[in-house]
Amino acid sequence: MKKELIELKVNGRMRELAVAPSKVLLEVLREDLQLTGSKRGCDDSSCGACTVLVDGTPMLSCTLLAASCQEQEITTVEGISEHGSLAAIQKAYGDRGGAQCGYCTPGFIITVKHLLSVNPNPSDEEIREALSGNLCRCTGYSQMYEAIKAAIEAEQRGLAAL
Amino acid sequence: MARNGKANGKGNAKLAAVWVGKKLKRKEDPRLIQGTSHYTDDLKLPRMLFCAFTRSPMAHAEIRAIRTDAARALPGVVGVFTAHDLTGLGMVPCAIQMPGLNLPPHPVLATERVRYVGEPVAAVVAENLYTARDAAEAIEVDYEPLPVVVNMEKALEKDSPVIHQQFRTNRAFTHALKNGDIQSAFKKADRVVKQRVINQRLAPVAMEPRAVLGEYLPGENRLTVWSATQIPHLLRTQISVMVGLPETAVRVIAPEVGGGFGSKLNVYAEEGLVPWLAMKLGRPIKWAETRRENITSTIHGRDTINDLELALKKDGRILGLRVRILADMGAYHQLLTPLIPQLTALMQAGCYKIPAIDIEIQGVFTNKMSTDAYRGAGRPEATYNIERIMDVAAHELGMDPVELRIKNFPQAKEFPFTTVTGLVYDSAKYQESIKRALRLSGYDSLRRRQKSGWKNGKYYGVGVSTYVEICAIGPSAATPAGGWESGTVRIEPTGKVTVLTGASPHGQGQETTFAQLIADELGIHPEDVNVVHGDTLAVPYGIGTFGSRATAVGGTAAYLATQKLKTKMARLAAHLLGAKPADISFGRGRLSGKGSKKSISFGELVMAAYTARNIPAGFEPGLEATHFFEPSNFTFPFGAHIASVEVDGETGEVKIDKYVAVDDCGNVINPMLVDGQIHGGIAQGMGQAMWEELIYNEEGQIVNGTMMDYALPKAHLLPEFTLDRTVTPTPVNPMGVKGVGEAGTIASTPCVVNAVCDALSVLGVKHIDMPLKPERVWRAMQQAQASAQLEPQPNDTPSSSRAKRGISVSEKAARSKA
């Protein structure tokens, strides 16, 4: 299949790529850009391990054609840090045991990052609802909730300190 | 934590624990939460090719012809291979030997017949993944369909299609475990309670699908295999046998592994074939499983039919237990397939005193993927059997299920306790865990709510499960490939410590817990301890991670290696300080002589061991020690879980509104990680109780073989878990740790089913098979109500009498018995 030239802004950097029109975004990120943080878990958009932000919206990159993201801004787990250090949610995951095998973690980090950006103070139910599109087989989600709540608290303390 | 110090180095005063017992953050996390770690499929080698498989779409058929021309003609295809091309490649291994076991040959690619959907028939290697998959689809296979059998009972009938003709039967084995006078137990019984329960087939679905990358360097005669495995060393041995290289030429690396749950405790066809192809083609080859392949062709769990009969006195005392089990092997034996139901037999008595037992198991071949170890591996089935029949018995006797359990517990002073199945339970206080669970759950108020609910058409249920499991697997005499573990501790010249462990963690966090353990022993910081695992070239031979063994067996090996080092360090310190070795004590970063008058820093001492200019006569330079730890027994963690549910009378929908777990895994190294194991285990066990079921139809097709269709527990479906623990150290290892990887899964499944059946007992529902989907629960309610209308129940039936009695006696019973 003839390759197409596309431009993607990935983690703040403009990238020019020649990709087959059938290639999904996940594989372009993993193979062409060596950004292997986003994971392939289900092949059919049901597990959330491949979640990335496309123009700020969480999208499942395993079923999204790369060519359809022309000139859009893609954020992966590798680009999620804040001011050169871990994002609040990443730090909280480490503090509270939010990750075990780590395979689903990048997808969750992206999902939670988005949740907190659109709803800085979600209720327990809203958190559970937001997470329900991502699957984890290790944790039972409990320590993820703790991490998310800790991240919200940290953000609020940070805001209060300003 | 208070530790049993028996195996400590002689003469070395024990340091107070600084790191052990702390919620230390995981050393693994920085790379995982930033997505910078490498799982097998993240690896890319120069000149790497991609592999894809053509798999059988038929459950049972003869292969008449395989046409590969179209596939070979595709640009980018490097090679196409069928069974005939695999000269010199060995079979898929099974490690189990037992009398009368029918062990069929298990070729890497199907030869004349296919026996389950997903069986590999051909392999394609191509320049890129898309081409490999297109070519695998372009291979044409002519199948002559054969009759299919997926149902175990039908498979044992005389006119059933036979899956392996040489055996003339689908019976893979029979296994019996009998002890005590079962005839007289049933003769003396006031009550015999019977129930058939089905433990449905599950898919493990680790989030990371399997993946294998093989590279062969002919000059060095070095085959390197990266694989998502729980057992790198055992895999290395098997790969060397399969591909015909000396074991010293094979290196297996388990890089980051994304969960296993037993599904990666195996040796798969692809793990032999992909490296063999890399040798043939002279280029690195990678295969990464699709999720569809993961569900059709990675092992499954459970799938047993269990007929239970419990003989009791009318006061609830158990006299005997009779169990008949049919265990579905699938079409072939994978590494441990026939072993799993035998673990069910061993643990069938649960945490009860049972004078007589009679267990018979038949392993059965069907046209399905093999079953094998899945989180708990035989013990969840045992626990489900005993905990369900205990509840059925309690309802039939009109007793509170808690009271019935407590009545049959051994007392704490009876430990070590020898069970009717011949195991020796190390240490336990069953009364204490149930007492705590009752208090935490507010059991009596839950019972009051239930009683008033029943009057108002609301169905509240309370489920209890008291469990014991077998962990720290295990003494070598009881395991197929050795039950020991290796640990090497090396203090490098700069004072940094490398720990090499034969355990192969894949999410459990032993890089952190082992560092905590060794840091405390040496008086250093866990940041200075680097735990290395999963590389057979770096780590001495080991067994791996499964059966809740990594810390209890592997951690002990590292601990004992450290004791050897400490003895050596004390000798050198004594030499340098002019003291006696027995007087040397380890402080934080320093070693001191008697009365701490003279001391030497940890760093200086280590450097002295390497510069070796001033050492005692005969002192071996360097600081490295290895210990292979052979445990004297298994360990037996235990606990009590209580679930509270509400069943919607209109729809059959179940809501779990409270879940309390009181577990005892002995001493705890990192409470955050132990809690995480329990949470995840409960979720997985709840998944079986409520949602998960891998369904094969009559034609042997999996009807829910994607993650979209196979119902895994999601965040919004699970309740909040309330955790508590008791600590009963084991005498089996010097750290007193028991293992915790499977406890939650073992306890939660019967707990939830007991709760739902309890809620509906007022309608006369005795048992519902899993998963408790609304439709199934609703049907059970309808059926019970219909039969109640046909045959009006007298007022004194046990279920209605319990309903009337209301407030339970259990808390009182627990207090008086404990």
Rounded Cα–Cα distance for residues B84 and B385 (Å): 45
Confidence band for A157, pLDDT divided at 50, 70 and 90: confident
Q: Do B35 and A37 touch (CB under 8 A)?
A: yes
Q: How far apart are CA A101 and CA B496, in angstroms?
A: 26
Q: Do A37 and B34 touch (CB under 8 A)?
A: yes
Q: Who's near A141: CB < 8 A, 6+ residues apart?
A: A128, A131, B679, B683, B715, B718
Contacts with A, B 274-333, CB within 8 Å: 288, 290-292
pLDDT digits (tens, 9 = 90+) for B4-25: 333 333 334 456 799 999 999 9
The predicted model gives B310-324 an average pLDDT of: 98
Please state, for a pLDDT cut of 90, what percent of chain B lies above it: 93
DSSP string, B550-566: IIIIIIHHHHHHHHHHH
Q: How confident is the model at residue B812 (pLDDT cuts 50, 70, 90)?
A: very low
Q: B433 in helix, strand or coil?
A: helix
Q: By the CB < 8 Å criterion, does B26 face chain A?
A: yes
Per the prediction, chain B carries an average pLDDT of 94
Query: How far is residue B222's CA from residue B251's CA, in Å, rounded to a whole number?
Result: 7
Give the distance, in angstroms, between the CA of residue A156 and the centroid of all CA atoms in the same chain: 22
Q: Residue A160 pLDDT more than 80?
A: no
- Nearest Cα residue in chain A from B708: A46
Q: What is the mean pLDDT of residues B721-743?
A: 97
Q: What value does the mean pLDDT take over residues A14-43?
A: 96
A21-38 burial code (b ≥16 CB/10 A, e <16)? eebbbbbbbbebbebbbb
The average pLDDT across B211-238 equals 98
Would the pLDDT of B794 be above 70? no
| Higher-pLDDT residue of B271, B816 | B271
DSSP B538-603: TS-----S-TT-IIIIIIHHHHHHHHHHHHHHHHHHHHHHTS-GGG-EE-SSEEE-GGGSSEEEHH
Average pLDDT over residues A127-156: 95
pLDDT, tens digit, 9 for 90 and up, residues B191-205: 999 999 999 999 999
Nearest to A99 among B32, B44, B721 (CB): B32
From the list B34, B288, B712, the residue facing A77 with the nearest CB is: B34
Q: Is the pLDDT of residue A18 over 50?
A: yes
Query: Is 90 exceeded by the pLDDT of residue B27?
Result: yes
Taking domain B29-37+484-629, whether its CATH number is 3.30.365.10 is answered by yes
**Is residue B237 scored above 90 in pLDDT?**
yes
Q: What is the CATH number of domain B40-146+209-257+264-297?
A: 3.90.1170.50
- How far apart are the C-alpha atoms of B146 and B618, rounded to whole Å? 72
Tell me which chain A residues have a C-beta less than 8 angstroms from the C-beta of B40.
Answer: none
Asked if B33 and A103 come within 8 Å (Cβ–Cβ), the reply is no
Average pLDDT over residues B585-592: 94
> What does pLDDT average to over chain A?
94
| Cβ contact, residue pair B679, A140, below 8 Å | yes
Q: Where are the domains of chain B?
A: 29-37+484-629, 40-146+209-257+264-297, 301-473+633-817
Mean pLDDT within A76-84: 87
**Nearest alpha carbon to residue A66 among A124, A127, A5:** A5
Interface contact flag, A103 B39, Cβ < 8 Å: yes
Judged by DSSP in three states, B522 sits in helix
Dist. CA B730–CA B737, nearest whole Å: 6
Residues B447-492: tens digit of each pLDDT: 999 999 999 999 999 999 999 999 999 899 999 889 999 999 999 9
User: Can you give the pLDDT at residue B790?
Assistant: 75
**B30–A contact, CB cutoff 8 A:** yes
Helix or strand run (H / E) with residue A108: helix A105-118
**The domain B301-473+633-817: what is its CATH number?**
3.30.365.10
pLDDT score of B806 more than 50: no
Q: Which of B26, B207, B718 is the closest to A137 by Cβ?
A: B207
**Which contiguous run of DSSP H or E holds residue B380?**
helix B379-397
Chain B: give the shortest CA distance to residue A162, in Å. Answer: 27
Quickly list DSSP for B743-775. HHHHHHHHHHHHHHHHHHGGGT----PSS--HH
Tokens 């040489």 locate to B166
Output the pLDDT for position A158: 79
- Residue B452 and residue B449: Cα distance in Å, rounded? 5
Domains and CATH numbers, chain A: 4-79 (3.10.20.30), 88-156 (1.10.150.120)
Assign B706 to helix, strand or coil: coil
Closest CA to A24 of A9, A2, A45: A45
Distance of CA B464 to the CA centre of its chain: 22
**Taken in order B138, B143, B147, B151, is the CA torsion positive or negative?**
negative
Cα-only R_g, chain A: 16
Contact B229, B254 (CB under 8 A): yes
Whether B301-473+633-817 and B40-146+209-257+264-297 are alike in CATH topology: the answer is no
**CB contact (8 A) between residue A140 and residue B509:** no
The answer to whether B695 and B711 are in contact (CB under 8 A) is no
- pLDDT of res. B600: 97
C-alpha dihedral sign at B3, B9, B15, B18: negative
Residue of B25, B32, B127, B690 to mutate, interface with A, max A Cβ within 10 Å? B32
Distance CA B769, CA B632 (A): 38
Top residue of A141, A143, A144, A149 to mutate, by most chain B CBs within 10 Å, is A141
pLDDT at B722 over 70: yes
Spell out the residues 6+ positions from residue B375 whose beta carbon is closer than 8 angstroms to its own: B204, B261, B262, B301, B681, B684, B741, B742, B745
CB contact under 8 A, A100 and B209: no
Shortest Cα distance from A149 to chain B (angstroms)? Answer: 14
Q: Which of B546, B769, B517, B512 is nearest to B667 (CA)?
A: B517
> Above 70 in pLDDT, residue B799?
no
CB B729 within 8 A of CB B4: yes
pLDDT tier for residue B808 given thresholds of 50, 70 and 90: very low
- pLDDT band for B815, please (50, 70, 90 cuts): very low
Q: Over 60: is that where the pLDDT of B119 sits? A: yes
pLDDT in tens, B386-419: 999 999 999 999 999 999 999 999 999 999 999 9
What is the pTM for the complete model shown? 0.95
Strand partners, B664: B638
pLDDT tens per residue, range B601-636: 999 999 999 999 999 999 999 999 999 999 999 999
Q: How many CB pairs under 8 A join A and B?
A: 174
Asked if B711 and B649 count as a contact pair (C-beta separation under 8 A), the reply is no
The yes-or-no verdict on residue B816 having pLDDT over 50 is no
Distance CA B581, CA B378 (A): 49
Residue B811, pLDDT > 50, answer no
Contact A138 B680 (CB under 8 A): yes
Question: What pLDDT was estimated at residue A1?
Answer: 67
Chain A contact for B506, CB < 8 A? yes
Higher pLDDT, B6 or B700: B700
pLDDT band at B425 (very low <50, low <70, confident <90, very high): very high
Residue type (1 letter), B460: Y
d(CA B654, CA B755): 10
Please state the length of chain B.
Answer: 818
Q: Which residue's entry shows tokens 């990680």?
A: B673
The closest CB to that of B291, out of A20, A43, A90, belongs to A43
Give the ranges where A19-103 is alpha helix by DSSP (H).
25-27, 88-96
Q: Cα–Cα distance between B77 and B395 in angstroms, integer?
A: 65
ipTM greater than cut 0.90 = yes
Give yes or no for a contact between B785 and B492, defined as CB atoms under 8 angstroms apart: no
